[in-house]
């Protein structure tokens, strides 16, 4: 059968569609260039139920709570927590709420000069135990599930191991670095002593947000360039542009890292590799991962260029629990929590595991 030549109606339709796309491109192009019309991020309804220093425990509103225990998300200290609640339909937290969980999140805020002395002991022995007790109080539950993302997973593990009195039923770690050997980039200069933390601290005594951003973005130096090519190609698509603005906004919205904890990370995690050995000095004593006896789900992102799966894989052998599950997600470091893979694979996987491990 021969293909029929396009009719004049088809041609007119094609011209009309192209003209419309050009109009959308122009409108969205102005939005992106001027930074206007940015979608609202972190919009899920929540309440601050506890605060100490810059740390806040957020409790998310929901009329769908059917499950116990509550889930307390421990976020990383080097980026903004709203990535887990980026936009409606692109929200890890929204999905957990829809599944009936009672969700809390520990947001560490933005460090300034006052926080330059924040060390591991402050987070592990002061902030986290108090925040967890407050979550228990608010939820009326007698135990919690902990979910730590990236460096938040390290804090969650150390708190669980260092405070066996805390009623932690299950622990989930996502893209959490345990052995820093597989990490690449500038971190190797720190490991070999070519660079010291004091060389990169700013006048507040913290690692500046720009340095944190450069450290991550330097691992994919061409990403920004080709990102613009994708944007230009899909500039006509409102949904794509909104997603782009939300994500690009978050990527450039990093926070400083307290100088004290940066020094401890380099010395103890990177140079002495103590975490990979399952022991870590905090607050004058040595915390051992072998003291973690609750069930553990270790979620790893297979395409993670910041925390490769090899940096997380050893965790199962270090904990004392005999109920350890590994979940490999085909996503990057951010995508595992905030991308399409998050909604289709990560969250369903975590929910299924938590349901199987709850009363």
Instruction: Provide the binding-site residues for other proteins, judged by CB under 8 A.
Output: 17-18, 20-21, 24, 52-53, 112-117, 126, 184-186, 188-189, 192, 194-195, 199-200, 203-205, 218-222, 226, 229, 233-234, 236-239
Residue (63 or 140) nearer to other proteins, CB: 140
Nearest distance from residue 134's CB to other proteins, in Å?
11
Residue (107 or 115) nearer to other proteins, CB: 115
Nearest distance from residue 127's CB to other proteins, in Å?
10
Residue (204 or 358) nearer to other proteins, CB: 204
Nearest distance from residue 148's CB to other proteins, in Å?
23
Joined tokens for residue 72: 């307390």
Residue (130 or 288) nearer to other proteins, CB: 130
Q: What's the rounded Cα separation, in Å, for the pair 25 and 232?
A: 8
Q: What's the rounded Cα separation, in Å, for the pair 211 and 201?
A: 9
Residue (20 or 252) nearer to other proteins, CB: 20
* Alpha helix (H) residue ranges in the chain: 8-34, 92-98, 120-121, 128-139, 151-162, 187-191, 197-200, 209-217, 223-233, 238-251, 259-264, 315-318, 335-338, 340-341, 347-356
Nearest distance from residue 316's CB to other proteins, in Å?
27
Nearest distance from residue 194's CB to other proteins, in Å?
4
Strand duo 144-149 + 71-74: pairing: parallel
Nearest distance from residue 318's CB to other proteins, in Å?
27
Strand duo 296-301 + 46-52: pairing: unpaired
Nearest distance from residue 186's CB to other proteins, in Å?
6
87 and 246 Cβ atoms separated by less than 8 Å = yes
Residue count of the chain, please give it. 359
Residue (17 or 272) nearer to other proteins, CB: 17
Joined tokens for residue 184: 């690449």
276 and 183 Cβ atoms separated by less than 8 Å = no
Residue (99 or 115) nearer to other proteins, CB: 115
Q: What's the rounded Cα separation, in Å, for the pair 89 and 81?
A: 17
């Amino acid at each position: 059968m021969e293909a029929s030549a396009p009719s004049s109606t088809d041609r007119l339709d094609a011209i009309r569609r192209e003209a419309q796309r050009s109009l959308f491109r122009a409108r969205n192009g102005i939005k992106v260039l001027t930074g206007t019309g940015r979608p609202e991020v972190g919009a899920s309804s929540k309440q601050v139920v506890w605060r100490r220093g810059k740390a806040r425990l957020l409790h998310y509103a929901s009329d769908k709570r059917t499950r116990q225990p509550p889930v307390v998300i421990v976020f990383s200290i080097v980026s903004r927590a709203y990535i887990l609640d980026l936009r409606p339909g692109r929200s890890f937290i929204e999905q957990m709420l829809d599944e009936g969980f009672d969700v809390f999140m520990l947001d560490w805020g933005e460090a300034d000069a006052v926080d330059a002395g924040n060390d591991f002991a402050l987070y592990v022995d002061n902030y986290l135990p108090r925040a967890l007790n407050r979550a228990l109080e608010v939820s009326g539950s007698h135990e919690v599930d902990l979910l730590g993302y990236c460096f938040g997973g390290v804090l969650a593990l150390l708190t669980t191991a260092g405070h066996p009195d805390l009623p932690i039923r299950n622990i989930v770690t996502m893209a959490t670095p345990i052995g820093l050997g597989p990490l690449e980039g500038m971190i190797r200069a720190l490991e070999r002593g070519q660079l010291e933390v004091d060389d990169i601290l700013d006048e507040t005594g913290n690692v500046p947000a720009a340095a944190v951003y450069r450290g991550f973005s330097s691992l994919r130096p061409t990403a920004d360039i080709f990102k613009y090519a994708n944007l230009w190609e899909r500039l006509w698509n409102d949904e794509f542009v909104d997603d782009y603005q939300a994500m690009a906004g978050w990527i450039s919205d990093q926070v400083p890292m307290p100088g004290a904890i940066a020094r401890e990370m380099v010395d103890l995690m990177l140079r002495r590799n103590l975490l990979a050995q399952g022991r870590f000095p905090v607050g004058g004593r040595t915390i051992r991962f072998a003291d973690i006896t609750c069930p553990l789900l270790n979620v790893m992102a297979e395409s993670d260029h910041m925390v490769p799966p090899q940096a997380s894989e050893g965790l199962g052998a270090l904990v004392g629990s005999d109920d350890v599950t590994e979940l490999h997600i085909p996503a990057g470091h951010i995508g595992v929590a905030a991308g399409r893979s998050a909604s289709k694979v990560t969250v369903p996987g975590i929910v299924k595991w938590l349901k199987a491990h709850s009363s």
